Structures are given as structure tokens and as C-alpha cells.
Amino acid sequence: MRSSILILSLTLLSACDRSGAYLVPQPTEGLEPVLELGDLPVLTEAEWDDASSRHEIITYADIGAPEPGDQSGATYTFRGTGDKVCIVVDPESVFWNSSVATNNPSETYSYHDNYLDDGDLDLKAGFSATYTGSPGIELGDFYGQYTDSLGNTVELVYNLCENVDYYGDSPAYAGKANAEYCEIDTEGREGIEYTVLLKTFSLPIDDSILSFATAVYDGGCRNIDECTLRYESRDVWVDGETINATVRDGFAELEQAYCDNDMYNFCVANPDLCGDPPL
């Protein structure tokens, strides 16, 4: 019945409005589309490996929607430790592909994901001296130009964030709502400032606000997935000049069910937090 209603609603919607404007996030009042989070501490291996308290020391933030045609995102800096460091970001919320065998109600992922609350951030990082943006004002990138003796202009890539995919190709970026990370070797560069760029690829359609969690830790990347950084999906509202944010109702339970591979039972009990049920 719910699927039939959805199909009818989409049919009526497409008959009235074919512009797709409802899929475009609207500028968010009271939230900045370009954030500067300042200088973040590099967490020690012990701090990072303590999963029970990790969420208390990582950084949470919220990005508003920009004016049409503008780019949104966030930046922050950290200092090299002389060791390999890992940069990780997890945008809201969680994402899963529906099982093909939807006629089998025991299929863990037979319920559809609610894609309206999902966002995506692409991760880059490099020396602060090579970042071309103005933190908190305008996003940049890690590119430069060199003109050789013949007058040819050559583009230089200063991005040190090696996001490698399954096939070994780089760069590779995670999809909607998926954690993204990269490793940088800071040997011989202790104390040198690095800039991290989190560039918005897409914002959630439901509220045009992208919540996320991010951290930098020592010792190199290991064992990172959707369950590594918790509680990144938040309800954000504006009260005068004060922005308040709390974990979105039901998200902690949804995330736990996802990490436990128990989405079917969770969605049966909490249909409002999932997408369409199996046919």
C-alpha cells in the first residue's frame, strides 16, 4: 500500500512539476555554507582506539546550503606529528543498497534506504601553504601552475590525500553517507601545518543541512567504516543567533542496527526511519 501511494504521489508530482526544483537544496538561514573549524588536535592512537569514548573527542559540525551556483564545504588545519596520520570524515546519515531478493522478508537489506537524509563530502588535504582558498570565506583547492622555459603552463597537484579505490586508481571518493578517509605521512614535517578540505558533493534533500563528524589521528588508517564515527546525523535548528544541534531522533538506534546487520527487523519496527518496505 505504501509503495502504491508513493508511486501515485510521484506520478502526480511529475505531472505538476517536471523541473526537479524540489531536489535542489534551498539556502539555509543561520548556517554558514563555508565553515572554518580551526586547528584540530591530532588524536593519539590510544584516544582513537577507545571506541567507547571516541565520539566525545571527535569534531561534529553542520554545513548550510549555499546560494545556487556556489560551493559549500568546510576546512580545518592540523600539525604534522612526524608519523603517519589518518584523516577521516563521515557525513550523515547511513546508506545501503536494497537487496535484489526483495520477495524474501528475511533479507537484511530488503527495505529501501531513505535517501532524503543522506549527504556526501569529498576529502582532500595538503600543506596549508598550497591551499588556494580563503578559510571561512571561499573554498579553494590544492592546485598550482608552473610555466616552463617554452611558455607551456603545467598544472601542479598538491593534494596529498591519496584516496585509492578497489582497483588502485586515485583519486577515489566514497558515495553518499559513507565514511571517507586518507593517510598522510608527516615524517620530517613535525609541526608543519596541513589544511583539510571537505568539499560538499551533495546535501540532504530533507533539510538542506549537512551534518558530519571528522577527526585526525596518529598511527595511520585502520579499520574504518560507517560504524567508526557515530552519531553524525543531527537535527539542527536556529534560535536567534544560537545554533543548537542534537542527535537526530532514532538515528543512534538506526546506526546500531546498520552496524549489527539487522536492518530488516529494525525497519519493521521503525518504518518512519527507513524507506519503502519490500514489495
Cis preceding-peptide flag for 171 (omega within 30 of 0): yes
CB 110 within 8 A of CB 98: yes
pLDDT value for 48: 95
CA distances from 227 to 91, 106, 170, 259 (A): 12, 23, 24, 6
For 184-220, write each residue's pLDDT tens digit: 999 999 999 999 999 999 999 888 899 999 999 999 9
pLDDT band at 40 (very low <50, low <70, confident <90, very high): very high
- Residue 188: predicted pLDDT: 95
From CA 197, how far away is CA 98, in angstroms rounded?
Answer: 31
pLDDT at 164 (0 to 100): 57
**Phi and psi based region of residue 183 (left: phi greater than 0; alpha: psi -120 to 50; beta: remaining):** beta
Of all helices (H) and strands (E), which one includes residue 261? none
Query: How many Å apart are CA 88 and CA 54, to the nearest integer?
Result: 13
DSSP 45: H
> Taking 50 as the threshold, does the pLDDT of residue 161 lie above it?
yes
pLDDT at 207: 87
| Predicted TM-score (pTM) of this structure | 0.85
pLDDT, one tens digit per residue, over 41-80 is 999 999 999 999 999 999 999 999 998 888 999 999 999 9
Other Cβ atoms closer than 10 A to 263: 22
| CA 66 to centroid of chain Cα atoms | 16
The mean pLDDT of the chain is: 85
The phi, psi pair for 262, rounded to 5°, reads -125, 40
Going by pLDDT thresholds of 50, 70 and 90, the confidence category of residue 31 is: confident
Q: How many CA atoms lie within 13 A of 214 on its CB side?
A: 32
Decide which of 124 and 15 is more confident: 124
Average pLDDT over residues 1-21: 50
Delimit the domains of the chain by residue range. 33-273
pLDDT (tens digit per residue) in 103-152: 555 677 888 898 889 999 999 999 999 999 999 999 999 998 888 888 89
Give me the half-sphere count of Cα atoms (radius 13 Å) on the Cβ side of residue 236: 27
Instruction: Enumerate the β-bridge partners of residue 35.
Output: 74
In one-letter notation, the amino acid at residue 233 is S
pLDDT tier for residue 16 given thresholds of 50, 70 and 90: low
Contacts of 243 (CB under 8 A, 6+ apart): 30, 31, 62, 236, 237
| 276 three-state secondary structure | coil
Cα separation of the two ends of the chain? 9
Residue 167 has pLDDT above 60, yes or no: no
pLDDT at 198: 97
Q: What is the per-residue pLDDT across 238-268, written as a single tens digit (0 to 9) for each?
A: 766 677 889 999 999 999 999 998 898 999 9
33-273, CATH topology level: Jelly Rolls (2.60.120)
